Chain A
Amino acid sequence: MSYIKLVDVTKKFGEVIAVNNLNFEIGEGECFSMLGPSGCGKTTTLRMIAGFEDIDDGEIYAGDKTLSSKKRGYYLPPEKRDFGMVFQAFAVWPHLSVYENVAFPLKLKKLKREEIVQRTNDALKHTNLLDAAKKSPADLSGGGKQRVALARALAINPKVMLLDEPLSSLDPHLREEMRFEIKDLQKHYGFAIVYVTHDQSEAMALSDRILVMKLGVVQQIDSPLKVYNEPANKFVFSFIGLSNFLNVSVSDKGIKTKDSGIVSYPKYPIDDALKTQKDIVLASRPSEIGFLSEGGIPGILKRKSFLGEIIDYAVDVNGAEIRIQKGRKEPGPNTGETCHLDFYHPHWYSCND
C-alpha cells in the first residue's frame, strides 16, 4: 500500500530546474533510496517531502493527507508533517543533553511526563545510547552523534523517516555498521525510509527500491537487483558500478568495431529498436569480459595491475579503454600483447543517451 505519493513535482531555483516532473510512490514500511550524483536534486526532493521547500508544480501526499499542492496553493509546514529526519551533519543540539535532544520532539507533542520518559528511554535503548543519556552530544563521536539524531527522529514514532546522506560524514567502517543499525531500527519501529545517497553500494544494501536521478530527472525506479542487472540507460549503467563503453556498428549479422571482424551475439539479442540505428554502445562490467585465443573484439593490453585477489587489465580498443578484472589464478595476456575480448553479458544502449 502506498503511503507517500509525489505527482508531477517540479522545483526551480531561478533558472535551474532542480527537480523536473517527478512521480513516485513509497509504500508503508518500505525502504526507498534516491541515488544520483551530487547536485542532481536528491536533497531538494527530500526537502520538498519534509516541507522545507515549497513546490513549483505538482502535489505531494501522505496517506490520505495532502502535504503540498501547487494547484490548491496548499502547504503543510514541516512541523505539522510528523516525519522524522536525519541530516548529513548530525544537527544535534550541543546545548542540550543527549536525553533532552531525544525528548525534545515528545515534549512539543505535550505528552504526559511518564510517556515522554518511557518513549525517550525506549529510543535511547534501541540506539545504544542509554549510558550516554546525560552527556552532551558534543562529547560523542560522529557515530554517537548520528545515533542521537536517529533516536530524536524516531522518538515520535513517525511513519516516515527522511535520511539525507546520514552516513557520509562517518568513517567508512562505521558506515557499514550503521547501515545495519538503521535496518534493525526500521524492523523494530516499522517506519518507511526515504534515503538519499550518492553511494550506490549503500543504496543497494539498504533499499527495497532505488530511484536513480540525473539533473532532476528520474532515470529508473526498480529493485536493487533489477537496477544492477538491467540498467535502464547508459547513465544508470555507468553510475551503478565500474563500466566499460564501446562504440560499435550493428548490422543483421552482428556487431563490429572499426578494427574487428563481425562478431555475432546471439545469446544477448539487441532490441529491434536499437538495430535500426547504425551505431550503438556496448556496455559491460569489468568482471563480465573474458579473453579468447582468437576472434571476438581485438585490442592491445596497455596495463596489467595486480590488486591482490584480482588482476586489473586495461585494454585499448580503437582508442577506448576497456577495463577487465579476472581472478589472480586465471590466465591472461601480458602488457603490449594483442588480445581478443569476449563480452559475456553485454548491454546495448543508444549512442544518444
Chain B
Amino acid sequence: MNIVKKPGLSITNIILFISIGILVIFVAFPVLLILFNAFFGGGTLNVKDIVSVVSNPETYQALLNSVFIASGTTLFSTIVGTFFAWLVTRTDLPFKGFMKIVFLVPFMLPSFIGAIAWKMLLNPRAGYINRFFMDTLGFSDPVFNIYSYLGMMLVETMYLFPFVFIQVSGALERMDPTLEESARISGAGLFTITRKITIPLVLPSVISGALLIMLYSMAHFGTVAVLGMEHGIFNIPTLIYEKIHASAGNFQSIRTATVLASVLIISAACIIWLQRKVLGSGKYQIIGGKSFRPVELKLRGLRYPLLFICLGYIAFTILLPTLTIFLVGGLKTYGLPFTMENLSLANYHFVLFEWQLTKDAIFNSVTLGFAAAVITMFAGVMISYVLVKMKVRGKGILEFLGVLPFSVPGSVIALGVILAWSGKFGINLYNTVWIILVAYIARYMAFSLQANKAALSQVHDSLMEAAQACGATMGQTLKDIVLPLVRPGMLSAFFLIFLPALRELTVSVMLYSPATRTLGVAIYTLNEDGETVYSAALAGIALIIIVLGQLFIKKVLGAKQQ
C-alpha cells in the first residue's frame, strides 16, 4: 500500500511565515513607522503636539482642500458616471457598444498628463481656449480659470468617473431584468421604474464607486500638483511632497508629513470599511434570472440630442486634451500657433533618442515596472495561495495584513519607505532606484492579491486533493495542477501592475533623485521647469506606450480565454 504522506507542517508554516514577512516588511512596517512617528514623534504620545500640527493653518488648509476637492470630484463623477452607465445599458442610444468602451479610456490616461493638457488649454492668460475667446471673439475676460478648485475637480472628474461608470453599468447589466418588468406589469411607467426600482437597486454600486473616487481623489497627487501648487493650493499628498522635498529631512516637516499621512491612512481605512459594508449587505443580491431582455427605454426625440452630448463629452474630455498634448509636443517653442511650419517631429526624436535625461526616464520606468510586476506577481500568488487555500494556524494575521495594501495610498507608501529605508534601520536605499522598487511592490501588492485571489478561488479544493490522493507530493501538485490553473491570474496581475507602474507619478516623485527619474517624474518636472514642449512630447510618447500596452494585453488575455 502506498500511504500518502502529508508533507510536514514545516513547509506550510514556512510559506505562511514568508508571506507574513513580505507584507510586514513591505507594507506594515512603513505604515507603522508613519503612525508611530505621527503619534509618538516626540517619544511619548503627545496629543497637544498633534493638535498643534493639525491646527497649523497650512496643514489644516491642506486637509480641508483634500476633503473639499475630493467631495466635489466625487459628486461630479458620480453624476456623470451614473448617467452614462444608465444611458449605455438601459436606453436605445445609438452606438452604445462603442461608447461603453470609449468611456473606459480615461482610466488608461494618466490624470496628471490630462492636467497638463488642460493647463495648456485653460490657463487664464495663455490657454488656447481662453486666448481664442479673448483674441478672436473679443471676450474681455478668460472664460475659465483652470487654476481653481472647480478646475481641479472637473479635471479629476474626467479621469475618475469610470470608477462609478464601471460599477454601475456592471450592476445594471447583471441586474435581473424581471425586477423591472414586474414593476412594469404592476402598472409603473418607465420613469417610475427608474426612480423607484432601478436606481434604488443599483444604489449600493453607485455608493461603492463614489467611495472609491473619494478615496482616490483625497490621496491624488498629480492634478493638484500641476494645477494647484504654484498658486498655493495644496492638498494632503502635495503638502507631504512639499514638506519632504523643500526641507530635506527636517524633523518638523517629517512630523507634519506623517500626521497628514496618518489622516490619509485612517480615512482610507474608514472608506474601505464602509465600501465593503455597503457592497456586502446581502440584501442587494439583485443578480440572477436567465432572462436576457432588459427593458430598453425608448429615448425617442432625445435620442440624437443625447448622442450629441455623449460624443461632445468624448471629444471635449478625451480627444481635445490628447490632441493638445501631441500638437504642443510638436511645436518648436511653446506659445507659437499650430501652423505647419511650427510643427515637426523634432522634439519626439530628441526625447526618444538624444536626450539622456528622458532616455533614462523611459528606461527606468520600463525596468522598474517590469521588476515590480514580476516580484509582486510571485509574492501575490504565494500570499493569495495561503489566504485562499491553506488551512493553517496564524492565517488570521495574514488576512489582516492582506487588507492593508488596499488602504494605503501612494503618497503614504512613499513617505513610509523614506522612513524605513533611509539608513535608520541599517539599510540606506535613499536616492537609489531600489527605494522606488520597494515602494512599487508595496503600492501594487493589492492589485496582485486581488487578481490572484480571484483566480485561486476558481480552483476547487477537490482538484488538489485529487492530485494528492494520486500520490503527488505538495510540490508536484503545485507545479502540475495549481500553477497552470493560476497562470491567468498571475498574467493579469503582471499587466495590472506593469502598465500603471509605467506612468506612475505619486510615489516616484517623492523618491526620485536626478539619476532615478521615472517617466512620470520626467514629464512632471519638465513641465514645472517650463520645458513645456519636451514635456508634452514625452507625455505623447507615454500615451502611445500606454495605448499599445493596453492593446497588447487585450490581445494576450483575449487569446488566453479561447
Binding site for B on A (CB under 8 A): 50-52, 77-85, 87-89, 91-95, 104-105, 108-109, 136, 138, 149, 152-153, 156, 162
Contacts and interface: CB of A to CB of B under 8 A. Distances in A.
A81 B288 CA distance: 26
B176 A105 contact: no
Interface stretch (B13-21, B182-190, B241-249, B373-381): B182-190
Given A52-B293, A88-B290, A94-B286, A156 B187 contact: yes
Question: Which 7 residue pairs spanning A and B have beta carbons closest together?
Answer: A105-B186, A89-B289, A91-B178, A87-B178, A108-B187, A85-B185, A91-B182
10 contacts: A51-B185, A78-B181, A79-B186, A87-B178, A91-B179, A91-B181, A94-B201, A94-B283, A108-B192, A156-B187
B201 A87 contact: no
B180 to A, nearest CB: 9
A87 B284 contact: no
A52 B197 contact: no
Interface in B514-555: none
A78 B282 CA distance: 30
A104 B184 CA distance: 11
B185 A79 contact: yes
Interface of B: 176, 178-179, 181-189, 192, 196-197, 200-201, 203, 282-286, 288-291, 293
A109 B189 CA distance: 12
Nearest to A82: B187
Given A87-B182, A152-B182, A95 B291 contact: no
Contact of A78 (B179, B185, B192): B185
B283 A89 contact: no
**Interface SS of B by simple majority:** helix
Given A79-B189, A108-B186, A91 B284 contact: no
A177 B520 CA distance: 67
B436 to A, nearest CB: 47
Nearest to B197: A93
B290 A89 contact: yes
Contacts of B181: 52, 78, 85, 87, 91
A88 B181 CA distance: 12
Contact of A104 (B183, B203, B290, B291): B183
Contacts of A50: 185
B187 A93 contact: no
A91 B197 contact: no
Contacts, number: 84
Nearest to B179: A91
Contacts of A93: 179, 183, 197, 201
A109 B293 CA distance: 26
Contacts of B203: 95
Contacts of A88: 178, 289-291
A95 B283 contact: yes
Contact of A85 (B182, B192, B284): B182
A149 B182 CA distance: 9
Contacts of A81: 185
A308 B187 CA distance: 52
Contacts of A153: 182, 185
Contacts of B178: 87-89, 91
Contacts of B289: 87-89, 91
A156 B196 CA distance: 19
Contacts of A138: 282-285
A83 B185 contact: yes
Contacts of A92: 182
Nearest to A138: B283
Nearest to B282: A138
A172 to B, nearest CB: 19
Given A52-B293, A89-B289, A95 B184 contact: no
Which among B186, B188, B189, B289 has the greatest number of chain A C-beta atoms within 10 A? B186
Contacts of B286: 94
A324 B40 CA distance: 86
Given A89-B176, A91-B176, A152-B186, 8 more contacts: A88-B290, A88-B291, A91-B179, A93-B197, A138-B283, A138-B284, A153-B182, A156-B187
A152 B186 CA distance: 8
A82 B188 CA distance: 11
Contacts of B179: 91, 93
A249 to B, nearest CB: 45
A108 B283 contact: no
B278 to A, nearest CB: 13
Contacts of B291: 87-89
A80 B284 CA distance: 29
A80 B189 CA distance: 9
A95 B183 CA distance: 13
Contacts of A87: 178, 181-182, 289, 291
B208 to A, nearest CB: 15
Which among A92, A138, A149 has the greatest number of chain B C-beta atoms within 10 A? A138
Contacts of B288: 89
A317 to B, nearest CB: 40
Contacts of A152: 182, 186
Contacts of B201: 93-95
A156 B283 contact: no
A79 B182 contact: no
Contact of B188 (A79, A85, A94, A136): A79
B283 A136 contact: yes
B290 A79 contact: no
Contacts of B182: 85, 87, 91-92, 149, 152-153
A305 B178 CA distance: 44
Nearest to B183: A104
Nearest to B293: A52
A127 B293 CA distance: 29
Nearest to B187: A108
A136 B197 CA distance: 15
